[in-house]
Structure 1
Amino acid sequence: MSHNSSLLVPLPEITRHKHSLFELNGDAAAKWLEALPMANLGETTKQLYQALTELSHVRCKPKDRYEILEKMRPRVHTITKGLAQHYLNKPIVLPDKAEKVVLLADTLNSQLALGYCQSFVGLESESRLIRPKEAMATCLHRALSEYGQVLLRTYQLYRTPPHHFWLHNHHLYRSAQLQKLTTQKVADKILGSGTVQQAYVRSLLLACSRCHQLPQPHIEQVYTGLRYWSNLVDIRDYRLESCTFLLDPDRDTAPTYRQLTQQAPSPGWLGIDTNGLTEGDILSAAQATGKTKLDLQLPKATLEQLSNAWHAPTTRSSQRVERDDTALITLGLNATHYYCANLADFDQFQIESSDAELQPDPFSERHHRDIWSQGASDDTRETDHAGTVNFGLTPNRHDEPIEAIDYSLTQAPGDSSRRPTERQYSYLRARILDSSAGGFRIEWPVEQGVRIRTGEIIGIKTEDFDDWRIAVVRWIRSDEQHQMGVEVLATAAIPYSARLMQSGLPASDYQRAIVLPSDGTDESPRVLLANIASFAEGQTIELVRPGHALRARLLNSIESSGSYKLFNYKDAVKNAPPKAVVGEPEKNEGEFNNLWEIL
């Protein structure tokens, strides 16, 4: 790195005079790239890694280095996209092989970023009269974009960025300021065109998006949307009191809310003003338009969550209490339904309503204990011969701590030969780190190879409580400790089966549903539905369990995610229109006058 350069990012030491794979020019690099066996992901990745590593240590003209990197960059992104299959949509605790793949992908992006930094330093050292401003801006934009890929991957795995990550990004933007390149537009067909400032703000806003609360697939969608949203945000070094976020470019930290900043800003600090980014701007990006050319597959609830994250910090409503005890966790609505049903197979819930009313009610005892109350009931759990609490559950035959969930399509009720046995649902043990009035912070066991995602329904059984709590995963962090934050939706629940009713007849197969207690603000209970695609507001459903059946009209949707939908509902019988009164034919005839012509 030149001592006179404005860029303070440490660069690799130059130790070579030639490259072993190709001549140091763009045409030679392109010819070498054409011969790569792209169908062989492992071999191509190995050769690209070697080529980038050597290039970072070879003495090369800045223009030639820039052209070589431009030729290599598309191939690198093809490879990193292929590598993603090894670590995305996987268990939160990755195996060693997947961890190495993540490190390799980060290294490829970082090598590209450092290569563009080297090109920028070389171009900057040329005479001011012949200094290519456009190429210099492209180098900074490319470096920021490549670091953005590292950040995206980090947040997709619910981790924190590596050391010096933010410092390198701040140095790149400072160089753009000194060279007056922040508003220079740069074309980028791979990661999105825009100005150097937009590339910087894109990463800053991603860091402010509370990605630990988002489902993994949504995080990349948010990063895509930031191509547009970053243009609506102002970053400046004055009037910091009206900015939402503040950052110190001399520190290796991401932006923080202005209200939460621990020290008074000093000269050189930057502020991010998101007041120009209205909720309407955020929601408009969910649909493709000629202006934005974006088509984000994000639910409205996620877009509203982003709007809240970019405009105001959240405040904790209740105090956390440290804990160190074990909880049993069921993952997914199917397994949670199974344990709420006292280990009853779902076959027992797939019955006609007339038959259900004739069967004994296995939940009557629970009902007599007033399951709708929020208070804990008496401790009626069983204790094994060793004197340890077993939470009232029959121990697993093989003491399996992990739930086994079959994600295959639901079979028809009569096709018992293809339906998996319910007994495969089990639980895992996890440690509660702390609790609050609304939920828990739970440490995820390292040895568990189970997928977990935000918005997932889980059941929680603790030694100090008799019933299974129904909760939803709100956030995930996976650094030194693998943790998740869960919000308790209800402290008790009753399992049902649910099916759609049309004209008084069944119109769908049975699906799992869990009825939750009222939250106290509405007289009606709530129903948690298994399949969010099968039910909608205004529909009538039939809820059935042994000993009880009812028909309910779904009112407004309270909450939804990719795993569940929560509705208010009313008893359909209670809200049925009044029946005709016998002995009042004239009154009934008046009610029907408007109907004759239609018929």
Structure 2
Amino acid sequence: MENKSRLGLYIPEQTPMRQGSFLDDPERVGEWINSLPIANVGETARRVFKALVELNRMELSPATRIKVTELFHRPINHISEGLRKYYYDVTFPLAAKSHKVAVLNRELHAELAIAYKIFIEEILESGSTRKLDRKLLVIAIHRTLRQLARVLYHSVIIYEPYPKGVWREIHRLYRYAEKSGAEELPVKETPGGSSVSSIQDIYLRSLLFAACSPYRLRQPEIAALHQRLPEWSGHLTLGKVDQRSRAATLFISKLDSDRPPGHISIQERPFDRHCRQLDTSGLVSHLRTIAAGLAESERGDTSFGPAPFSARLLHKLMAVLSSRPERRYVRTRLNFELNTAAGIPAIHAMTRQSEPEPATEEPEAGEPELDDLDWFTRSGERPLINTPLYGQGPGGSEPTIGSLDDPMDETALGGANESLSLQDSDAPVWTLTAERKIPDPFNCKTDNESAGGYCILWHGPGTPPIKVGEVLGIQSTSDRYRFAIGIIRWMRNVPIHGLQVGVEFIARESAPVLAGRVAGNGEEGALKCLLLPGNPAQEISQTLITPPLPFHTEDRIWIDDGHNRREVELTRLIDSSGAFSRFQFVTLDQGADTTSFDDIWSEL
């Protein structure tokens, strides 16, 4: 059973305090918090969560409740930071334990918000006009909005939908503050802290976070965006809606809805008194200035690598905040099966020539020479010759042979470090290493499709781990060696239904190649890449998909498809993420001498 406050906030039913509880005494609560085993995050989380749940379901005076609630900020912040390692910067779908930890983190903030919401209801129900109570009411609204904003963040960081009712409560709290004239009053963000903000500041941060389409970002990008909300929200303006405006930097927030802000171009008109207009033009100009400075220092083509922010991400955010969202293709709800490969290494391994390789005669097995025997290891324990990678089996038992072709190498930057040698071999490039296990395609189903891509249901046994920005190969139904190429643009982890993945097509076919930088004194090691055909309709010539870090525009590299080898210059970075970079290039005339001008003097 639950109660509804005058503002329509969710609060659980309160019952008389159980005998022996210490939660009615702020001093004892403070001593209890100081005695928590903070080095043991799990045990601390269990105790704090249990105490908060009890606090929110027991009858308590408003003055005592607000004092006790304020004490929980410090341990919850400590716990939240300690729990994030279980689900941050990881692949999806999450393991069951990691998902449960992420939900726990979110619920800690939700319970802290409930504690403040109970206080808000009690003050409003009492009708108190005392100056102290009105001041505490503003603080409680501010605190509630901050915790609900954390609930939004902890939902997005694991690509789960915003919890039902959270946006409704955020809008209603802001509307009440605005009506009371309290939305711009300064409030300390945490008890005893030095940072100050207003209710409107916190509301703007939540609006901006949602307006940036966070489900289209990778986890480190989501975290980087969230960290900059306090600074960036200062470049926003919020006010009544201009009914005549059609500016591409305007978003509409509906204070009577349970929805995040939406772009003005997709909102129904006319706008009523419950609508507010968010203008991002000032922030877009600010981001443009930052991006220009980053472009100069990072050669203008950064991938999302070790740096916490990049020019590429800034341009992505600027596009979202200053462009009208348009669906280019009609989407049709269809359910059919697809065979897919996730990541550059997996696609490279499966995209092979369909012609069978020439048969080779196996030499007769004979007695081994004495020099070939390993006298110090029992034969059953010797590793296979030329095995590319060794690992421990489950539980640390027998060693197992792993493959450098396993999907997702590039998400850990493994693809960028893998090096192959082409010297002293006439074999095709994909046969230069020892025999490897070729990963099997992952069979999944579509939820809907359009000419531009698919919405895929990504769950089931043996589900490959993925991230937003991953390269996805889609196997041809007529030729198992042919793969169309798409990019995972967004993810949404819907409870019960599982992980939904939005894939944008970028090429109908691909070819596996090796590529390496042409250095001043030779050539660097080879990296697995994918060669994509040109697209005349988009005026795009052949492009190369590479691991995320090693190459930049203006680099001279070589490309080997197993039959031909050529030197090219990377001319333009079309797209990139933490999993890949996609370049346009031009083939260099290796017969021409670009440093000598003796052959043109007579022509001048």
TM-score above 0.5: yes
Preserved CA contact (<8 Å) 1:25 1:65: no
| Paired residue secondary structure (2:72) | helix
Q: What is the aligned partner in structure 2 of residue 230 from structure 1?
A: 233
Alpha-carbon offset, residue 57 of structure 1: 2.8
Match of 1:143 in 2: 144
Supply the AA of the counterpart residue of 1:66. Answer: I
Q: 8 Å contact 2:4–2:10 — kept in the other structure?
A: no
What residue number does 1:564 align with?
Answer: 580
Alpha-carbon distance between aligned partners in 1 of 2:321 and 2:234, rounded to the nearest angstrom: 14
Output the amino acid matched with 1:446: G
- 1:35 is displaced (CA, Å) by 1.0
**Contact preservation (8 Å) 2:287, 2:314:** no
1:178-228 per-residue CA deviation (whole Å, 9 max, x = no partner) reads: 332100122225897421111112112222221221112211221222212
Q: 2:441 aligns with which of 420, 427, 438?
A: 427
**Structure 2 Cα separation of the partners of residues 112 and 58 of structure 1:** 14
Q: Distance in 2 between matches of 1:184 and 1:285?
A: 33
* 1:51-450 aligned within 5 A: 51-123=51-123, 125=126, 127-188=128-189, 193-242=196-245, 244-262=250-268, 264-281=270-287, 284=290, 297-342=308-353, 410=417, 413=420, 422-450=436-464
The equivalent residue for 1:389 is: none
What RMSD in Å do the two structures reach over aligned CA positions? 3.5
Contact 1:404 1:426 in 2 (8 A): no
Q: Which runs of 5+ in 1 are unaligned?
A: 289-294, 345-401, 592-599
Q: Distance between the aligned counterparts of 1:159 and 1:299, measured in 2?
A: 25
Query: Which stretch of structure 1 is more off in the superposition, 120-129 or 312-321?
Result: 120-129
Structure 2 residue 555 is matched with structure 1 residue 539: yes
Distance 1:94 1:544, change over 3 A: closer
- What secondary structure is seen at the aligned counterpart in 1 of 2:255? coil
Figure out how many residues of one structure are paired with residues of the other and give that number: 519
Cα distance, 1:103–1:546 mapped onto 2, change above 3 Å: closer
Deviates more, 1:187-196 or 1:54-63: 187-196
Mapped to 1, the partners of 2:136 and 2:434 lie a distance apart of 60
Cα distance per residue 1:220-245 (max 9 Å; x no partner): 22122221222222222343543722
State the Cα deviation string for residues 517-572 of structure 1 (Å, max 9, x = none).
12226585222222x32222212111123221111112122221111111221112
CA distance in 2, matches of 1:221, 1:130: 39
Maintained 8 Å contact 2:291/2:315? no
How far residue 253 of structure 1 moved from its aligned partner, in angstroms, is: 2.0
AA of the residue aligned to 2:466: I
Structure 1 distance, partners of 2:354, 2:77, is: 48
| 1:485 alignment partner in structure 2 | 502
Q: How big is each residue's C-alpha offset from its partner over 1:407-449, in whole Å with a ceiling of 9 and x where there is no partner?
A: 6574554799xx8863253321112333333222222123344
User: CA 1:168 to 1:322, structure 2 compared with 1: closer, same or farther past 3 Å?
Assistant: closer
- Give 1:468's aligned residue: 483
Counterpart in the other structure of 1:498: 515
Could you say if the C-alpha distance between residues 90 and 26 of structure 1 is closer, same or farther in structure 2, counting changes exceeding 3 Å?
Answer: same
Q: What amino acid does structure 1 have at the position aligned with 2:131?
A: I
The offset of 1:48, in angstroms, is 0.7
One-letter code aligned to 1:572 = L
- Does the 8 Å CA contact 1:470/1:491 hold for their aligned counterparts? yes
Preserved contact between residue 455 and residue 501 of structure 2 (Cα < 8 Å): yes
CA separation in 2, counterparts of 1:525 and 1:537? 15
Secondary structure of the 2:172 match is helix
Q: Return the alpha-carbon distance in structure 2 between the equivalents of residues 188 and 421 of structure 1.
A: 59
SS at match of 1:338: helix
**Alpha-carbon shift at residue 578 of structure 1 (Å):** 5.3
Of stretches 441-450 and 488-497 in structure 1, the one that deviates more from structure 2 is 441-450
1:81-137 CA distance string (max 9 Å, x none) = 322333334453344444433332222111111111223344554743433554332
* Percent identical: 23
Per the TM alignment, residue 40 of structure 1 is displaced from its structure 2 partner at its CA by 2.2
**Contact map agreement 1:287 1:296 (CA 8 A) in 2:** no
User: CA 1:109 to 1:551, structure 2 compared with 1: closer, same or farther past 3 Å?
Assistant: same
Question: What secondary structure sits across from 2:163 in the alignment?
Answer: coil
Farther off after superposition, 564-573 or 127-136: 127-136
Task: Check whether the contact 1:286–1:298 (CA below 8 A) recurs between aligned residues.
Answer: no
Are the equivalent residues in 2 in contact too, given 1:19–1:55 (CA < 8 A)?
A: no
AA matched with 2:146: S
CA 1:227–1:576 in structure 2 vs 1: closer, same or farther (change >3 Å)?
Answer: farther
Q: C-alpha displacement at 1:31, in angstroms?
A: 0.8
Local SS of the residue matching 1:158: coil
Q: Is the 8 A contact 1:21 1:51 kept in 2?
A: no
Residues 550 and 558 of structure 1: CA distance in aligned 2, closer, same or farther (over 3 Å): same
Which amino acid is the alignment partner of residue 114 of structure 2? Answer: L
> Could you say what secondary structure the match of 2:475 adopts?
strand
Structure 1 pair 15–311 and aligned structure 2 pair: CA distance change class (3 A): same
Query: Greater CA deviation, 312-321 or 183-192?
Result: 183-192
Query: Which amino acid in 1 is paired with 2:508?
Result: T
Matched, 1:528 2:545: yes
Within 2, Cα distance between the matches of 1:131 and 1:533? 56
Give yes or no for contact 2:157–2:219 (8 Å, CA) kept in 1: yes
Does the Cα contact within 8 Å between 2:215 and 2:491 map onto a contact in 1?
yes
Letter of the 1:441 partner, please give it: C
**Alignment partners' CA distance in 1, 2:99 and 2:327:** 34
* Contact 1:18/1:24 (<8 A) preserved: no
- Give the Å deviation of 1:482: 2.3
CA distance in 2, matches of 1:287, 1:15: 58
Shift of 1:156: 1.7
Report the Cα offset of residue 172 of structure 1: 1.3
Aligned residue identity for 2:236? V
Q: Distance in 1 between matches of 2:232 and 2:52?
A: 32
Aligned-partner residue type, residue 254 of structure 2: D
- Give me the TM-score of the superposition, normalised by structure 1: 0.77
Alpha-carbon distance in structure 2 between the residues aligned to 1:320 and 1:257? 20
Q: 2:427 maps to which residue?
A: none
CA distance in 2, matches of 1:233, 1:405: 38
Q: Is the 8 A contact 1:554 1:567 kept in 2?
A: yes
